[in-house]
Amino acid sequence: MAANGVSSGAQAVCESEARSEAERLLADPRLHVSDRHRAFLRYIVDAVFEGRSDAVKAYSIAIDVFNRPPSFDPSSDPIVRIEATRLRETLAKYYEQLGDEPGARLEIPRGRYVPVFVEREQPPCPGDDVSDVEEDVVPAAEDATASLRSTVSRKPYAAVALAGLAAIALAGGYAVFRAAMPVPLDTQKPFVSLSLNATQKDTVAGEAVMEDLAVSIARFGTVRLKSEARAARPGIDPAEQTTYEVRMRYGEDATSVSLWWQVSDAATGEAVWTDQDRRQTGTGTRDDAIRALVYGVSRRIAGPVGVVNTMELRRNLPASTTGNICVLKGEFAVEQRGLAALKAARPCLEATIAADPADADAMATLARVFVWTGRTTGDDSYFGRGLDLANRAATVSPTSTRAALAQLATQYQVGQNDASIAAGRRGVALNPENADLLAKLSMALFLSGHWEEGVRLAKEATDLVGQTIRDANFVMILDAYRLGNYAEAVFLARQVPATDTPTTVLKLAAIARLGDRPVTEQEIAAARLQHPDLDRTVAAMFSGARFDSSLKAALRTGILEAGLKSPELASNGSM
């Protein structure tokens, strides 16, 4: 009798033997499979050894292997189930041909897509005693194997445990099994609790500042404000729901307004950040200074790279954790723009969306991950998938800043510049404190030929936070270059603390236009050492035709003079 398609008498193999069998199998010319089946097999095998087998579902396979759109519904499109059945049949015939050769055997249990590895001398899985039920429509079995997948990803690969666990489910019911096994951790947006002290003369003004700060923090959509009357929900795992306390002290004098603030972890009492912000009132009205103070502090607390989100990312959580932490990891991957980080972020976001199809934050973040995956790999199919998700996120949550940002990025990527700019304007209206979104909107405007407005918004974004923002800085460098102020463009590029590759390319083009060839060659040599992806970035910057034509011609001239290759210019890839 087989349980879940796995032989009840199968013997487990160790991790090293399982890895060896997987690589041998995939490289064996005797395994006659199509490229699609080979990609299918590689996908599920890699998931096991990378510890993310809990995210291997019909939805993720359809999206990643069979290029189905994000709207894929496994209940109406059986492609994964059909191809899995064919792959199982091919594997069964393959191992039959091996005969008595010693070693391990890879099996794909019926109704599941996570492979297991057993001793080859054991009998193969029976093929007629368990129906091949689609995994995503068996909710009870889903929880029963969620933790099992995590176990299978570690050594030993206990196929015996698979059979035993299925027997428990059959004998005692799934309710008992689910109670005994841990469920994946679903993290929520953290709570933030605000409190303020002020001298008697500043009490009224301080209370108004705290109210404005609460509104400003809420607009970022990354945290939830905790009211004094709210009590913790019973039975909630502290790891799912964290709380941060923000204590403030407001003060003002004849020339400035200031806010001392401290963020503490409510669970431990540890102060994780303490700072003080001050704005001068001499150059404008007192209300302007207070507004700038509130905007600056709210961004540093709840912004994309604020204190709270940074602390959430540092939490030591299981790899199977879903929810808000997946959104934060995805946003971090987009900012880092490395292919490995982008790939690692996707299963987590996909699992979050599968658990909650209305999670606009996860959809918006996955949309941006898809866009950057497409840019990094050169696979245009990711762009349409990203656009679909971004539009769905905006439909589900029209007031989501993250959804507006996703539409800004995806619509611009597919050449819908006007729609992209409209999405950016909507996002800025929803959250005027979000300097990062403002900078990205300035980029879309500038690259579309709206020079003056793009530069103005770039300056506003920089003034809002009082420091350099990558996208805003790029606009300023690009504008100096466009106007022929090459020395100014070089100066601005050198002010960036950690220059990214697109900014370096701009700097090289500006140096080349200054006409000093020895300096140009020296700078290019140094840039190649610092940025191994220099040539790939140049190619990415010159593929398509979405830059204003005059700006495109000016950039092409500088890059040619620098001695770099210049295909047709499209996007700097900064959104």
**Series of mean pLDDT values for 10-residue runs along the chain (575 residues):** 43 81 86 86 87 82 84 79 88 85 85 85 48 40 36 38 41 38 75 91 91 93 78 55 93 91 93 93 82 91 92 87 94 86 90 90 96 84 92 94 95 91 95 91 92 95 82 92 93 80 86 87 84 71 61 83 60 45
Say what the pLDDT of residue 542 is.
56
Cα–Cα–Cα angle for 112, 117, 122, rounded to 5 degrees: 105
Say what the pLDDT of residue 575 is.
53
Dist CA 142 CA 157 (whole Å): 19
Say what the pLDDT of residue 135 is.
46
Say what the pLDDT of residue 177 is.
35
CB-based contacts of 326-330 (< 8 A; 24+ apart in sequence): 326/187, 326/351, 326/352, 326/362, 326/365, 327/352, 327/361, 327/362, 327/365, 327/402, 330/362, 330/365, 330/366, 330/368, 330/369
The amino acid present at 565, given as its one-letter code, is: K
Phi then psi for 107, rounded to 5 degrees? -125, 145
Say what the pLDDT of residue 153 is.
38
Say what the pLDDT of residue 483 is.
93
List all residues 6 or more positions away from 486 whose beta carbon is below 8 Å from its beta carbon.
480, 510, 511, 513, 514
Dist CA 229 CA 236 (whole Å): 18
Say what the pLDDT of residue 439 is.
93
Residue with tokens 């700072």: 275
Q: Is 187-313 a CATH 3.40.50.10610 domain?
A: yes
Residue 474 CA, chain-centre distance (Å), reads 23
Say what the pLDDT of residue 527 is.
82
Residue 489 CA, chain-centre distance (Å), reads 32
Radius of gyration of the chain (CA): 28
Domain with CATH 3.40.50.10610 in the chain: 187-313
Which pTM value belongs to this model?
A: 0.66
Say what the pLDDT of residue 316 is.
85
